[in-house]
Amino acid sequence: MKKIVILAIAAFCTAAFLGYSYKTPAPEPLTPACYVSCFTTEIMDQFKAEAATTSFAMMHDNPLAYTLADAAGKPVTFKAADGSTAMGYEIRSKKKSNKWLFVIQEWWGLNDYIKRESETFFADLGEDVNVIALDLYDGKIAATADSAMKLIQSAKTERLESIIKGAVAYAGGDAKIFTVGWCFGGMWSLQSSLLAGKQAAGCVMYYGRPENNIEKLKTLNCDVIGFFGNKDRSPSPEMVNKFEADMQAAGKKLTTHKYDAGHGFANPSNPVFNKDAAADAHSKAVAFLKERL
């Protein structure tokens, strides 16, 4: 009996030692290089995973309070692709036009700052274009990074795509669709152009996560212009370089402009606002759109 007990104890000790010896080491934090090569999931899933991290939230100072005065547009509703109601902020051309600019919010939601940006683009592009800022959060708006993180995590890709597809249908089958967005909206500006199919006419991205599926990029029907910060880590310069290579591999035209600036440099309500970079980017974005309108 004593021998049996001794053997059992020995076996247990051996198993414990082997378990410790072969225990998988804790993974290192993901590097920027890994972010452009390690993921095989969809872009929205990649973004949601990163947006749940403290380091990502720390790149987003809480926006300064801003209230839009004398609004030129109005709230509108339209049918999403899933049959439910979707919302937006619309400024209609004074004359009938099949040219549409979809304005895509930051991760804060469709706040008054984005509505103001919609009005600015409308004024700078002239009267022969309809502008609609899409409400991808269905009326929810965040004022702090932690609340924005919660909204991102609760946002379903299927719902976002349904809203965008509904907006394309709302614009009409003969509409020329242009898109612009910042950060979360920069990512969805490109995704919206992909969803618009043959109706896509031009895409403007401000520091948004690029699509890294070359087969998807091959289906893109329009040119893209992107504005990025060399001090940004999401997307990092490495991600932007990979995006340039992927677009070239897909046979698509991409023009990038890179500034000595950080994430959110184009937003006046952001404490890291870079006035010179924002002004240069906006003038180039307007010129890009006008060439294709």
Whether 143 is in a domain gets the answer yes
Residue 7: pLDDT over 70: no
In a domain, 10, yes or no: no
Whether 28 maps to a domain, the answer reads no
Residue range 147-203, pLDDT digits in tens: 999 999 999 999 999 999 999 999 999 999 999 999 999 999 999 999 999 999 999
Kindly state whether residue 91 falls inside one of the protein's structural domains. yes
Does residue 3 fall inside a structural domain?
A: no
For residue 25, what pLDDT band results from cuts at 50, 70 and 90?
Answer: very low
Q: Is 30 part of any domain?
A: no
Can you give the residue range of the structural domain that contains 149? 39-292
Residue 31 lies in a domain: no
Among 7-11, 18-22, 187-191, 203-207, name the one with the lowest average pLDDT: 18-22
Q: 157: domain CATH number?
A: 3.40.50.1820
Q: Can you give the pTM of this predicted structure?
A: 0.86
pLDDT tens digits for range 203-244: 999 999 999 999 999 999 999 999 999 999 999 999 999 999
Does 162 map to a domain?
Answer: yes
When divided into structural domains, the chain yields a total of: 1
* Identity of the amino acid at 193: S
